[in-house]
């Protein structure tokens, strides 16, 4: 069954979407029965796995606020941005620096529809239809060029996207491309499924591979290697809930001083700077 949007974009409601499953796990409403079916597998067979989505979102909002309040960077490229939810990158950045420019990049048609609707009154944001595995297309897209000045530092957001790039697609190549095409002083935020070498990791990876043909858990060392040539800032690559948990207070941030669950250990985050 195809759903046709008012913009003439066709959305296949019979095939699950990574972005829509993630939206469902975060409590969103922009998903279909096929997405909820996959999401319910995680909720039923991997109880507690929803914490991964929330831990990731919290780290992202903290990272954006950290960048915009402690540096002069006012340009963001959010690769594989997913469906809009609470505290999107532009909302966090522009809350503190209204002149911040944000380019969202995704190839999911529903992301494009909802993103453009959300941003139609915001002339400092754009949604670019492109595949993150083809960074040159993003870099040279006219909407990217309209908003981003590549002579000035840029914050490149790689939130929960590189673990959907399989090894044979060379995720490190994607990061290298952006590292080589942004100036010194640019920042890179990454969050990534973290291998726990346990039953939970293996089962979650199997579900994603069977459903989407992608989904790769990597060790902290493998994640660090993706940021080769960049200076990884304190506290390094750590579980997302432990990445600067005291930076801000927001609805996604509830780690506090309690012990993390096994699920919260299954997603890491880190911030790096191009020297």
pLDDT over 80 at 177, yes or no: yes
Question: Looking at residues 136-160, what average pLDDT do you find?
Answer: 97
pLDDT tier at 138, thresholds 50, 70, 90? very high
For 188-204, how does the pLDDT look when each residue is reduced to its tens digit (9 = 90+)?
A: 999 999 987 777 777 77
pLDDT tier at 2, thresholds 50, 70, 90? very low
Contacts of 57 (CB under 8 A, 6+ apart): 26, 85, 86, 87, 252
Q: Structural domain of residue 98, as residue ranges?
A: 2-273
**What pLDDT does residue 10 have?**
54
Question: Looking at residues 264-269, what average pLDDT do you find?
Answer: 90
CA atoms within 13 A on the CB side of 146: 10
**What pLDDT does residue 247 have?**
52
What does the DSSP 8-state code read for residue 259?
P
First-residue to last-residue Cα distance in the chain: 49
For 4-31, how does the pLDDT look when each residue is reduced to its tens digit (9 = 90+)?
A: 344 444 566 777 777 787 778 777 777 7
Please tell me the distance from the alpha carbon of residue 137 to that of residue 119, in angstroms, as a whole number. 21
Domain at 57, CATH number:
3.40.50.150
Give the residue, 70 or 40, on which the prediction is more confident.
Answer: 70
Count of structural domains within the chain: 1
Question: Looking at residues 142-155, what average pLDDT do you find?
Answer: 97
Tell me the range of 63-67, 87-91, 126-130, 263-267 where mean pLDDT is highest: 63-67
Question: Looking at residues 96-114, what average pLDDT do you find?
Answer: 87
Identify whether the C-beta of residue 115 lies closer than 8 Å to the C-beta of residue 23: no
Please tell me the distance from the alpha carbon of residue 19 to that of residue 141, in angstroms, as a whole number. 22
Please tell me the distance from the alpha carbon of residue 211 to that of residue 273, in angstroms, as a whole number. 35
Contacts of 256 (CB under 8 A, 6+ apart): 245
Question: Looking at residues 240-248, what average pLDDT do you find?
Answer: 81
Question: Looking at residues 224-234, what average pLDDT do you find?
Answer: 97
**What pLDDT does residue 136 have?**
98
């Amino acid at each position: 069954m195809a759903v046709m949007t008012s913009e003439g974009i066709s959305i296949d409601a019979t095939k699950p979407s990574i972005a829509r499953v993630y939206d469902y796990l975060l409590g969103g409403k922009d998903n279909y029965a096929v997405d909820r079916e996959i999401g319910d597998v995680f909720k039923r067979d991997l109880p507690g796995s929803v914490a991964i989505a929330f831990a990731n979102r919290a780290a992202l909002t903290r990272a954006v606020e950290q960048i915009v309040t402690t540096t002069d960077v006012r340009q963001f490229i959010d690769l594989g941005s997913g469906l809009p939810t609470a505290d999107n990158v532009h909302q966090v950045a522009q809350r503190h620096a209204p002149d911040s420019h944000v380019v969202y990049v995704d190839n999911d048609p529903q992301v494009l529809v909802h993103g453009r609707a959300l941003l139609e009154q915001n002339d400092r944001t754009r949604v670019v239809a492109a595949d993150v595995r083809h960074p040159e297309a993003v870099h040279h897209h006219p909407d990217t060029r309209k908003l981003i000045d590549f002579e000035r530092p840029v914050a490149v957001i790689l939130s929960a996207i590189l673990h959907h790039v399989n090894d044979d697609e060379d995720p490190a190549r994607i990061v290298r491309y952006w590292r080589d095409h942004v100036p010194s002083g640019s920042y890179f935020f990454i969050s990534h499924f973290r291998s726990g070498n346990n039953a939970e990791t293996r089962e979650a990876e199997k579900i994603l591979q069977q459903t989407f043909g992608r989904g790769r858990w990597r060790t902290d060392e493998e994640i660090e290697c993706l940021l080769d040539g960049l200076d990884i800032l304190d506290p390094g690559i750590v579980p997302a809930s432990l990445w600067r948990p005291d930076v801000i207070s927001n609805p996604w941030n509830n780690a506090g001083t309690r012990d993390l669950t096994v699920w919260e250990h299954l997603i890491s985050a880190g911030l790096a700077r191009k020297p």
